[in-house]
Amino acid sequence: MRIPVKPKPAKGPVVPPAGSDPHVLLRVISKFLIPLIALFAFYVQFHGEYGPGGGFQAGVILAVSIILYALIFGLAEAKRAFPPWLVRLGMTLGVLLYGGTGVVAWLLGGEFLNYSVLFPDPIDGQHYGIIAIELGVLTTVTSVMVAFFYAFGSRQPDIEDGDW
């Protein structure tokens, strides 16, 4: 794998010419950090079955990576990467994934959210059931957190940057 010496300017965020950007350190470090944060979120997510973790925590961490991106590269860029319609869809899909797992258990003759009936082996059922549930939680929590940020961030501020 060849690492390019000079990275081509990405077509995304407008990077000011070198030297004039006071936030260059932020930009560089966050570009390094954001993927790691997202990766850590998935670690927490899939580790959640045996150790501390799970959908709630993972969802918040994943949302943090997006929010950090928005803080550094601007809200418009973040909305291009993770558009608001996707956020709304994610909120619904997560809930439906969660509830849908319960409904499938219903249809298979068990109680609501009784994962044991999902598979012939009840232990398997519990395992895959909780993974589906946690995936639903992850989707919803990520979307809701980002939705909060978008909702508050999109309001017209009446304090100018210079007033801070």
Partner 1 sequence: MSSWFVTHGAAFIVVLPLLMAAITAVLPAVRRLAWFTALVVVSLVALVAFIVLQTQIDLGAFIYRMGGWEPPHGISLGIDAVNAPIALLIAAMGVATLVYAEPAVDSEVQRKKRAPFYAAFLLCVAGLLGMVVTGDAFNVFVFLEVSSISTYTLVAMGANRDRRALSAAFNYLILGSIGATFFVIGIGFLYAETGTLNMADMRQILANLDGGSRVAQVGFGFVLVGLGLKLAMFPLHTWLPGAYAYSPTAVTAFLASTATKAALYLLYRFMFTVFDPSFDYVAVTLTYVVTALAVIGMVFASLQALFQTDARRTLAFSSVAQVGYMLLGIGLISTLGLVGSYLHLINHAVVKGGLFLCLGAMWYRFGITRISDMAGLGKTMPITTAAFTVLAFSLIGVPFTAGFVSKVALAEAALERGWYWAVAVIMIASILALLYMGRMMMVAYFSPPPASALNSDGRVQRREAPLLMLVPMIGLAVTSVLIGVRGNVYLAEVSENAARVLLPGGGL
Partner 2 sequence: MEIGLFSHFNYVVVIILMMVGLYIVFASRNLIKKLVGLSVFQTSVFLFYITLAKIAGAQPPILVKDKSTKSGYDEYSQYNEAVQTAAGGNTYYLPSTGSDILYSNPLPHVLILTAIVVGVATLAIGLALSVRIREVYQTIEMDDIERADFQYNLEGTDAATVKNAS
Which residue, 108 or 123, is less far from partner 2 as judged by CB? 123
Does residue 164 belong to the site contacting partner 2 (CB under 8 A)? Answer: no
The single residue among 5, 20, 22, 50 that binds partner 2, judged by CB under 8 A, is 50
Q: How far is CA 44 from the centre of its chain?
A: 12
Q: How far is the CB of 47 from partner 1 (least distance, A)?
A: 23
Binders of partner 2 among residues 121 to 160 (CB under 8 A) are 123, 126, 148, 151-152, 155
Could you say which of partner 2, partner 1, none residue 111 binds, taking C-beta under 5 to 8 angstroms by partner kind? partner 1
Query: Letter for the amino acid at 88?
Result: R
The single residue among 42, 43, 112, 148 that binds partner 1, judged by CB under 8 A, is 112
Q: How far is the CB of 95 from partner 1 (least distance, A)?
A: 4
Does residue 148 belong to the site contacting partner 1 (CB under 8 A)? Answer: no
**Cβ of 87: how many Cβ atoms within 10 Å?**
22
Q: Give the helix ranges, DSSP H, for 9-155.
A: 24-47, 55-73, 75-81, 84-107, 122-153
Could you say which of partner 2, partner 1, none residue 153 binds, taking C-beta under 5 to 8 angstroms by partner kind? none
# residues near partner 1 by CB under 8 A: 20
Contact between 82 and 66 under an 8 Å Cβ cutoff? The reply is yes
Burial readout 56-66 (b: 16 or more C-beta within 10 A, e: otherwise): bbbbbbbbbbb
Four-residue CA torsion sign, 97, 83, 12, 31: negative
